[in-house]
Structure 1
Amino acid sequence: MRLQFILSEIGIGLRRNLSMTISVILVTFVSLTFVGVAGLLQTQIGKMKDQWYDKVEVSVFLCPANSSATTCSSGEVTDAQKADIQAALDAPEVKPYIQKVYFETKQEAFASFQKQFAGQFWASAATVDDMNSSYRIKLTDPTKYQVVADVLSGRQGVEQVQDQRALFDKLFLVLDRATLLAGGLAAVMLLAAVLLITTTIRLSALSRRRETGIMRLVGASTVFIQLPFMLEGAIAATIGAALAVGALWLGVRYLVTDWLGSSVGWIPYVGTGDVMTVAPILVAVAILLAGVSSVVTLSRYTKV
């Protein structure tokens, strides 16, 4: 009997404040969509780092014949300078950080260049002498790049030490800023959702002040009186969360997996499984918003 009464009160409250309820659903939907986007962006960054950071190398470009670098003042790198560089890589303080070292000759660099830029008219003008021989170093820990760079930078015969990870860091920086933007928008929209839920519950409580007064007189508990109002906010917020999960699932399924995945297949994208991982968090946030809004509002407006 009590359950039937509570359900009927919830239905009455939702019907009386239908426009406000729809507003709560929409604002919650938009705000939690931004929260989900921020979470998925961080997951995407993690996937890309896991795949790319394990593959990146440190490239130590040696002096060609016509370099203007101060470390190349003696001209093209000599065999003695190469031996000195190799000895530095084999030093006890550096060796533990290095997993593998591969030496690429100028001829190999030229062949790779021609293959990479095949069909470009300007590539045909390049010659073997324009290429750098180089050491390609695979690190045991890509974050320890600076250890190798400090040892080799400024050494005679070394024109440039390049960390491939730095190229990816620029992309990750853009994604991190996009995450912050999505998070900021989510925070603003969540605040709007809290205010709307609070207003909806307040209007519902005021419209049924006479009923709550009667319930007080017949001995109804505070929890029993407040429960329908709390559930109204929770239901609206949960519907908004469900819509957000649905929108994220559709976006990932058709925009990321089907469209981007078929166009740029070498990037490890987030999938619908990642959306399902984020979904419980979004629902929990929605229920928490409704709960906090309900407690703050009902403590004041259900007193008689």
Structure 2
Amino acid sequence: MNFGLIMGEAFSGLRRNLSMVVSVILVTFVSLTFVGAAILMQSQISTMRDYFQDRAQVDVYLCSDISSADTCLDGTADDEKIAELEDKLNSDTLNPLIQDYRFESQAEAYKLNVENFPETAESLREEWTNAVFHITLVAPDDPRNAEAVVESFSDTDGVEEVSNQMAYLQPLFTALTIATYIAVGIAALMLISAVLLIGTTIRLSAYARRREVGIMRLVGASNRAIQTPFVLEGVIAAFIGSVFASGAIVAMVHFGVTGYLAQRMGPVPWVGMPEALVVVVVIVALGVLLSAVSAGFAIRRWLRA
């Protein structure tokens, strides 16, 4: 099999069907960009969930002078009340669920609040600030543990509020997961369009060169020798689209994630170039594989007709 001749036939077919080839490239580019973005988004969701689960806490806010909850009728939680709450944390019921906890006094909470929000220094007083128990759970990904701790301290004298941080983050993760599924759905539709378009392009190319194909059959050319140039046409077009999609993914991560989000949203782990390069390999392989299968199937059907 003459490799140079086969490549020449493939590029000749690409030139003859330039408009269809451009369509294949564009559809492949858009569909694989959606696929890559969906993979990166799911990776980011998984990374952020693991990050926040390891750091998520249940915060027990104690009553202050200005607390209006029914459990704060006695005013600020005193040392005796704080000791009672600490005993509950160390009880046989809750202790197995808790990895560790830290008590933040009113003075510490006030100082931290002023450091983070200097504009509140003049309007906030220490006695108005809530002392807090910051509780880290043994298995933060198990909602039953958090629910048990929250239930134990809810409606307890001296406790104004119990906050489960993961309960606030879970709707965000759910929304992002739904967005990922939508991206995957759009990508799947676009990939189906790309596969069908590649098949149509190959059949048109074969029809335009039907005389050459007939001559090749008469001189005894094998089916592989006849089919290979057409398959290469689809693979080359899809590969170009995959390269464009790879460039879009790399640019998205470099400028959108590393260059913008990572610098403006604090010490949150973000996907980076290592993850982007993995996605590049996946989408290029996917583009080439789907195009080869689609083109091979289309040309075999046409030759049998």
In structure 2, what is the equivalent of residue 220 of structure 1? 221
Q: Which amino acid aligns with 1:127?
A: R
How far did 1:17 drift? 0.6
Distance in 1 of aligned mates of 2:289 and 2:73: 67
Q: Which amino acid aligns with 2:287?
A: A
Which secondary structure state, in structure 1, belongs to the residue aligned with residue 268 of structure 2? coil
Deviations 1:191-243 (A, max 9, x none): 22122112111101111222223333343333332222112111111111111
Deviations 1:113-149 (A, max 9, x none): 22221024xx522222322122111223222422322
Match of 2:137 among 124, 130, 139: 139
The 8 Å contact of residues 249 and 280 in structure 2, kept in 1 or not, is answered as no
Q: Confirm whether residue 17 of structure 1 aligns to residue 13 of structure 2.
A: no
Deviations 1:64-112 (A, max 9, x none): 3443333334544355543432232112342233222111122222222
Q: Which amino acid aligns with 1:168?
A: L
Query: Over aligned residues, Cα RMSD in angstroms?
Result: 2.4
Which secondary structure state, in structure 1, belongs to the residue aligned with residue 122 of structure 2? helix
Distance in 2 of aligned mates of 1:136 and 1:152: 13
Distance in 1 of aligned mates of 2:298 and 2:211: 17
Distance in 2 of aligned mates of 1:94 and 1:299: 68
Distance in 1 of aligned mates of 2:153 and 2:221: 79
In structure 2, what is the equivalent of residue 4 of structure 1? 4
Q: Confirm whether residue 190 of structure 1 aligns to residue 191 of structure 2.
A: yes
Gap regions ≥5 residues in structure 2: none
* Mean Cα deviation higher: 180-189 or 53-62: 180-189
Aligned CA distance change for structure 1 residues 221 and 154 (closer, same or farther; 3 Å): farther
TM-score by length of 1: 0.88
Which secondary structure state, in structure 2, belongs to the residue aligned with residue 142 of structure 1? coil
Distance in 1 of aligned mates of 2:47 and 2:78: 42
Aligned CA distance change for structure 1 residues 59 and 265 (closer, same or farther; 3 Å): closer
In structure 1, what is the equivalent of residue 62 of structure 2? 62
In structure 1, what is the equivalent of residue 285 of structure 2? 284
TM-score by length of 2: 0.88
Distance in 1 of aligned mates of 2:151 and 2:226: 70
Q: Confirm whether residue 204 of structure 1 aligns to residue 202 of structure 2.
A: no
How far did 1:2 drift? 2.8
In structure 1, what is the equivalent of residue 45 of structure 2? 45
In structure 2, what is the equivalent of residue 179 of structure 1? 180
The 8 Å contact of residues 209 and 302 in structure 1, kept in 2 or not, is answered as no
Distance in 2 of aligned mates of 1:264 and 1:60: 26
Match of 1:124 among 119, 122, 125: 122
Q: Which amino acid aligns with 1:217?
A: L
Which secondary structure state, in structure 2, belongs to the residue aligned with residue 302 of structure 1? helix
Aligned CA distance change for structure 1 residues 265 and 69 (closer, same or farther; 3 Å): closer
Q: Confirm whether residue 99 of structure 1 aligns to residue 99 of structure 2.
A: yes
Gap regions ≥5 residues in structure 1: none
Distance in 2 of aligned mates of 1:65 and 1:220: 93
Distance in 1 of aligned mates of 2:172 and 2:129: 27
Which secondary structure state, in structure 2, belongs to the residue aligned with residue 101 of structure 1? strand
Which secondary structure state, in structure 1, belongs to the residue aligned with residue 271 of structure 2? coil
How far did 1:14 drift? 0.9
* Mean Cα deviation higher: 107-116 or 258-267: 258-267
Distance in 1 of aligned mates of 2:263 and 2:149: 38
In structure 1, what is the equivalent of residue 26 of structure 2? 26
Distance in 2 of aligned mates of 1:75 and 1:250: 56
Distance in 2 of aligned mates of 1:136 and 1:272: 35
- Percent of aligned pairs sharing the same letter: 44
Which secondary structure state, in structure 1, belongs to the residue aligned with residue 55 of structure 2? coil
In structure 2, what is the equivalent of residue 36 of structure 1? 36
Distance in 2 of aligned mates of 1:282 and 1:60: 47
The 8 Å contact of residues 9 and 228 in structure 1, kept in 2 or not, is answered as yes
Distance in 2 of aligned mates of 1:263 and 1:107: 30
Distance in 2 of aligned mates of 1:274 and 1:105: 42
